[in-house]
A and B are shown apart, each in its own frame.
Chain A
Amino acid sequence: MLDDVTRVKRLPVAMPVAASNRRLGRRKDAQAESVVQEALLAQWMTEAFARCRPEGVFGSLAIVDNDGHKVTLSDASVIENDGVARLLAKCQHAWLAVATIGPELAAWVNQAMAAGDGAKAVVADAVGSETVEAAMDVLQSYAGTTLRRRGWQLSSKRFSVGYGGWDLSAQALFFSWLPLTDMGLRLTPSAIIEPEKTITAIAGIRNS
């Protein structure tokens, strides 16, 4: 486990209405077909957001080596991914974070889907996805501010396991770095983190 772990049990995230609508493909100016439909959409969003418990944790490790393809960290863990290596170029430390919204929303989405209420499920799923992204934004913003005051700069970009070819097996690293089990998170045999709406992130820290 990292020495400098910061856990935030309740991240202040506002309901991501605009982002959720964008994710669902709604145009900014699009009106619903009826007052009832518009009210339903708003109600589902509110109900979904009420089931999100945004939480996060982060820490950092010194970068020992970065050859442009492979990054070695001070705990001897190795990340083999060109994108991550690019992101961490010229950085002295790697910022490592996980954000989650907890299990409640996923259960609600499944329940809605099982009841044949696909529209509600899809709206709730979008709210969950955007809420966890917003939670990570808050976490990164907080870390960036505190690091800046100590003379460091946190990259504004971040990279997540599972994207850009970064193999899912790397999710296990986050369990070794951060107290994810204490947060109720679990790694499946297929290297997927449950509950579903959980994201990992790595970003770079350098001298400013």
Chain B
Amino acid sequence: MTGDAFKALVAEQVLILDGATGTELSKRGMPAGVCPELWVLEHPEAIRGVQSDYAAAGSRCVYAPTFGGNRCKLAEFGREKDVVAINRDLARLSRAAAPGCLIFGDMAPTGQFIEPVGDLAFEDAVAIYREQAEGLLAGGVDGFAIETMMDIQETRAAVLAVRELCDLPIMVTMTFEKGQRTLTGNDPVSALITLQALGVSAFGCNCSMGPEGMLDIIRLLKPYARVPLIAKPNAGLPQWQDGRTVFSMGAAAFGVFGPEFVAAGAGILGGCCGTTPEHIRSLANGLAGLRPPQIGAAHGACVSHARGYREVSRQAPFAVIGERINPTGKKALQAELREGKFDLVSRYADEQIAAGAALLDVNFGLSGIDELAMMREGVAMLARDYAAPLCVDTTRADVAEAALRCYPGRALFNSISAEKDRLEKVLPVAAKYGAMLVLLPITDEGIPATLAERIAVIKRIFAEAKKYGYSKDDVCVDGLVMTVSASPDAAELTLGLVEWCAREWGVNCVCGLSNVSFGLPRRDLINRAFLGMAIGRGLNMAIANPMLVDIMETVAAGDVLCGRDVRMQGFLGRYGNSDGGGVATSAAAAGSAAALTPEDAVRKALLAGDVAGIAGAISACIQAGSSADRIVNDILIPGISDVGDRFERKDFFLPQLIMSADAMRAGMDFLTPLLQQDGVAAKPLGRMILATVKGDIHDIGKNIVALMLRNYNIDVLDLGKDVPAELILDTAAREDITLIGLSALMTTTMGEMKQVVELAAKRGMDKLRFVVGGAVVDENFAQSIGAHYASDALATVKIVKKLLQ
């Protein structure tokens, strides 16, 4: 069966798949713990029974029983060398069992994790699936069902393995958990965008949830789907009853969901765990006479990465493609890349995403470096560490292949021109991986001089791209910005092309902004004005530096004016707290602080834990006439007591308590010289030892207690973590300290506190008093060893102050 024949079939009818195979085989005697593939080969009558039952119930397509037929799974049973033969024979068995049905070869996870999640190299995964697909092809399958997938990269490996062997239809279903993500963090829409671009014939979900949960995912997918959607739910949710897992939903209730799935957008339906031929019969009965849903994505151009996606159509907000990961003109980046380092690449990625870049352009074209190796490594790092789609930017086919093959999403590819080499070598590579294309109006003869010529070149490139299945939603046109200092009509020529793309031809348009101002002073003014004009003519993407605030502000305002910022949420989110002049929240906060009296400003700084600002507030207070003594006694001490009360009422949480204590300390540091002048400086309340007991290295709690005690003017001798009893007591004796605080996090180390107290008694150190605390310590334990108990840092301060009095 060809991909086109499959397309025609699913356009005509709701395709009904089979239900669960494993449980049906168990009913026919397959014991737990055996290799199902080998057991079926030894008991062919079992699969004949299962699949003929499904065919009789209404399944039009059944999966060969090859779920675990890959090398990794068969290795668990010592049969990894027989992958091809086992898959071939199982496919033939299915063909014989269900003669009227389509037979799809079943491929599923290897059980290994692919780099960077695990150790399995991507190409090794492709080879594993290729081997299985060869066996299934030899067995005469009509297509492939890649199911129960949990990782987009493993799924891509399986799809590429099949695609590199044949053009049979490929159905892919992934397994999404409660949060609508796979266990490796992939979301349904991103996976759909990635895989439909890669050429799968249908996409959807199976297993993990019942029909209700799966309906939500199908509804989510529908607006983005250009291929038929598949739903293969479990028979409800698994329940543990009488020592066995059971699925609660009966056949009749399951079948009711059939029309709902079709209404939601699924045109290929079946069942997974817990479903039986009766469930499939019920489903088929419910679907009788229903036509499959129309396929056609409401959302146009989309690009994706492993954990998210971005629509880049003219209806979506303007997309700034961060231009900084490109060594051209960047000496520091060039030097790093020549040393094989990626530190600056990481920094540029961080900064650009934080500044609002929708995609990251990645270009490693630089003399003196191995562009292919750098691109492969750089793309892998960026795809692993950053949640933004990439724009792969190269002129070389081999570099494009290296980048797009390992990229776990749908990339934008920059660019395909009408140059012979690009059309013949680079375009097929970009098309193989389904990348969205930037079409660049350049030919082997150079840059066309007129708008009409540029349009003709664009149409020529698109005609070539169409041969690979590209539509207008899969491309954007580079407006080809030339510098106005060399040619006064350069900007208008670009704007004309932008307008033609957006208004006449109906495709997305992108520009590299900064060329327009080359050679001029105040390039920022030219760039900003040009961006505004281009947005007005229909530009919807730009390759630019998102760190430039004026560019991002123009984009944000442009989205509002073009109606692309729905309910202006983006603009309001960004500037909603500004004072109207474009200065954001900090100025607004400062404005409201300015309305406070000087004393209230100090109080507010203390409550807000404003370490940096409290000295300024105190200074203003003193200038307004308050004395240092009054500020301490009437503002800071009541203020910090208020903080403590709020913490105890749980109005404040721990970081706020610490921040306020830090602000108190900063305030006291500022005031101490003034208090000394006035002769009222406070002496420390006393000294104590703090230690995390032997065997325990968790010292964050103890450190916080030390910090708080010091902020409350208590002199702390902190012995650190994993401290033996002898050292604690020796220190107490040497330093003449009689108060000791001990911390432990685990039940297994809290016993060491008792050792310290008992050793002190044995040594006759009767004056020592102990305060204990930590996650597992409680009042009872403290009492049992003769110590005081402190539940948290503030409680420790209170107890210690009391004990030191």
B-contacting residues of A (Cβ < 8 Å)? Answer: 6-14, 21, 24-27, 30, 32-37, 39-41, 44, 90, 109, 113, 116-119, 121-123, 125, 138, 141-142, 145-146, 148-153, 162-168, 188, 190-192, 194, 196, 206-208
Cβ of A35 and Cβ of B654 under 8 Å apart?
no
Cβ of B118 and Cβ of A24 under 8 Å apart?
no
Question: Shortest beta-carbon distance, A47 to chain B, in Å?
Answer: 11
Q: How large is the interface on B (under 10, 10 to 19, 20 to 34, 35 or more residues)?
A: 35 or more
**Top 7 closest pairs, chain A to chain B, by CB:** A12-B185, A26-B653, A33-B608, A34-B608, A208-B245, A119-B658, A118-B707
B:605-638 near A, CB below 8 Å: 607-610
Q: CB-CB < 8 A to A123: which residues of B?
A: 655
Q: CB-CB < 8 A to B577: which residues of A?
A: 35
Cβ of B119 and Cβ of A7 under 8 Å apart?
yes
Contact partner, B119, options A9, A13, A21, A122, Cβ 8 Å: A9
Query: B700 in the interface, Cβ–Cβ < 8 Å?
Result: yes
Docked complex Cα distance between A151 and B39 (Å): 15
Query: B697 in the interface, Cβ–Cβ < 8 Å?
Result: yes
Cβ of B240 and Cβ of A41 under 8 Å apart?
no
Docked complex Cα distance between A196 and B610 (Å): 31
Cβ of B116 and Cβ of A164 under 8 Å apart?
no
Docked complex Cα distance between A25 and B238 (Å): 35
Question: Shortest beta-carbon distance, A120 to chain B, in Å?
Answer: 8
Docked complex Cα distance between A123 and B307 (Å): 26
Query: B698 in the interface, Cβ–Cβ < 8 Å?
Result: yes
Docked complex Cα distance between A168 and B207 (Å): 39
Query: B540 in the interface, Cβ–Cβ < 8 Å?
Result: no
Docked complex Cα distance between A79 and B388 (Å): 46
Cβ of B746 and Cβ of A33 under 8 Å apart?
no
Cβ of A35 and Cβ of B700 under 8 Å apart?
no
Can you name 15 A-B pairs with beta carbons within 8 Å? A6-B112, A8-B117, A11-B117, A30-B653, A32-B656, A35-B589, A36-B608, A37-B656, A118-B658, A125-B700, A145-B208, A146-B109, A151-B22, A151-B33, A192-B695
Q: CB-CB < 8 A to B240: which residues of A?
A: 153, 208
Q: CB-CB < 8 A to A90: which residues of B?
A: 243
Cβ of B245 and Cβ of A153 under 8 Å apart?
yes
B:1-17 near A, CB below 8 Å: none
Query: B713 in the interface, Cβ–Cβ < 8 Å?
Result: no
Cβ of A162 and Cβ of B746 under 8 Å apart?
yes
Cβ of A27 and Cβ of B697 under 8 Å apart?
no
Q: CB-CB < 8 A to A206: which residues of B?
A: 243
Cβ of B175 and Cβ of A145 under 8 Å apart?
yes
Question: Shortest beta-carbon distance, B337 to chain A, in Å?
Answer: 23
Cβ of A121 and Cβ of B700 under 8 Å apart?
yes
Query: B244 in the interface, Cβ–Cβ < 8 Å?
Result: yes
Query: B703 in the interface, Cβ–Cβ < 8 Å?
Result: yes
Cβ of A188 and Cβ of B697 under 8 Å apart?
yes
Cβ of A162 and Cβ of B655 under 8 Å apart?
no
Most buried by A among B384, B696, B707: B707
Docked complex Cα distance between A14 and B696 (Å): 29
Q: A10-B117, A36-B608, A118-B658 are in contact. Are A151 and B707 (CB under 8 A)?
A: no
Query: B24 in the interface, Cβ–Cβ < 8 Å?
Result: no
B:720-756 near A, CB below 8 Å: 722, 746-749
Contact partner, A119, options B150, B207, B245, B662, Cβ 8 Å: B662
Question: Shortest beta-carbon distance, A155 to chain B, in Å?
Answer: 10
Cβ of B722 and Cβ of A9 under 8 Å apart?
no
Closest to B694 in A: A190
Closest to B588 in A: A35
Closest to B244 in A: A208
Q: A9-B113, A153-B240 are in contact. Are A118 and B703 (CB under 8 A)?
A: yes
Cβ of A165 and Cβ of B748 under 8 Å apart?
yes
B:204-245 near A, CB below 8 Å: 207-208, 238, 240, 243-245
Question: Shortest beta-carbon distance, A40 to chain B, in Å?
Answer: 8
Docked complex Cα distance between A81 and B244 (Å): 27
Q: CB-CB < 8 A to B32: which residues of A?
A: 151-152, 207
Closest to B776 in A: A163
Question: Shortest beta-carbon distance, A188 to chain B, in Å?
Answer: 7
Cβ of B655 and Cβ of A119 under 8 Å apart?
yes
Chain B interface helix/strand/loop/mixed: loop
Question: Shortest beta-carbon distance, B756 to chain A, in Å?
Answer: 15
Contact partner, A41, options B113, B655, B661, B700, Cβ 8 Å: B655
Most buried by A among B208, B653, B749: B653
Closest to A192 in B: B697
Closest to B175 in A: A145
Query: B331 in the interface, Cβ–Cβ < 8 Å?
Result: no
Q: CB-CB < 8 A to A119: which residues of B?
A: 609, 655-656, 658-659, 662
Q: What per-residue 1/0 map shows which CB atoms of B576-593 lie under 8 Å from chain A?
A: 010000000110110000
Contact partner, A21, options B115, B653, B697, B747, Cβ 8 Å: B653
Q: CB-CB < 8 A to A149: which residues of B?
A: 22, 148, 207
Cβ of A6 and Cβ of B589 under 8 Å apart?
no
Query: B684 in the interface, Cβ–Cβ < 8 Å?
Result: no
Q: CB-CB < 8 A to A148: which residues of B?
A: 238, 245, 273
Query: B795 in the interface, Cβ–Cβ < 8 Å?
Result: no
Q: A33-B656, A208-B245 are in contact. Are A168 and B651 (CB under 8 A)?
A: no
Q: CB-CB < 8 A to A141: which residues of B?
A: 177, 183
Closest to A160 in B: B746
Cβ of B749 and Cβ of A168 under 8 Å apart?
yes
Docked complex Cα distance between A128 and B642 (Å): 30
Q: CB-CB < 8 A to A109: which residues of B?
A: 700
Docked complex Cα distance between A39 and B655 (Å): 13
Closest to B643 in A: A33
Closest to B710 in A: A116
Q: CB-CB < 8 A to B700: which residues of A?
A: 109, 113, 121-122, 125
Q: CB-CB < 8 A to B316: which residues of A?
A: none
Known A37-B609, A152-B32; further 4 A-B contacts with Cβ < 8 A: A12-B183, A25-B654, A118-B658, A145-B183
B:644-659 near A, CB below 8 Å: 650-656, 658-659
Query: B326 in the interface, Cβ–Cβ < 8 Å?
Result: no
Cβ of B703 and Cβ of A121 under 8 Å apart?
yes
Most buried by A among B181, B703, B708: B703
Docked complex Cα distance between A183 and B500 (Å): 56
Closest to A125 in B: B700
Cβ of B183 and Cβ of A9 under 8 Å apart?
no
Q: CB-CB < 8 A to B610: which residues of A?
A: 34, 36-37
Q: CB-CB < 8 A to B443: which residues of A?
A: none
Cβ of A116 and Cβ of B384 under 8 Å apart?
no
Cβ of B609 and Cβ of A33 under 8 Å apart?
yes
B:350-385 near A, CB below 8 Å: 384
Q: CB-CB < 8 A to A166: which residues of B?
A: 748
Query: B704 in the interface, Cβ–Cβ < 8 Å?
Result: yes
Q: CB-CB < 8 A to B112: which residues of A?
A: 6
Query: B100 in the interface, Cβ–Cβ < 8 Å?
Result: no
Q: A163-B747, A166-B748 are in contact. Are A24 and B655 (CB under 8 A)?
A: yes
Closest to B577 in A: A35
Query: B184 in the interface, Cβ–Cβ < 8 Å?
Result: yes
Cβ of B658 and Cβ of A122 under 8 Å apart?
yes
Most buried by A among B112, B658, B694: B658
Query: B111 in the interface, Cβ–Cβ < 8 Å?
Result: yes
Q: CB-CB < 8 A to B273: which residues of A?
A: 148
Cβ of B116 and Cβ of A10 under 8 Å apart?
yes
Q: CB-CB < 8 A to A25: which residues of B?
A: 650, 653-654
Q: CB-CB < 8 A to B607: which residues of A?
A: 33
Contact partner, A196, options B119, B659, B697, B747, Cβ 8 Å: B697
Q: CB-CB < 8 A to B148: which residues of A?
A: 149
Cβ of B608 and Cβ of A8 under 8 Å apart?
no
Docked complex Cα distance between A194 and B698 (Å): 11
Question: Shortest beta-carbon distance, B505 to chain A, in Å?
Answer: 40
Contact partner, B748, options A14, A145, A162, A188, Cβ 8 Å: A162
Cβ of A9 and Cβ of B698 under 8 Å apart?
no
Cβ of A194 and Cβ of B697 under 8 Å apart?
yes
Docked complex Cα distance between A164 and B117 (Å): 32
Q: A142-B150, A145-B208 are in contact. Are A12 and B747 (CB under 8 A)?
A: no
Closest to B109 in A: A146
Q: What per-residue 1/0 map shows which CB atoms of B679-702 lie under 8 Å from chain A?
A: 000000000000000111110100
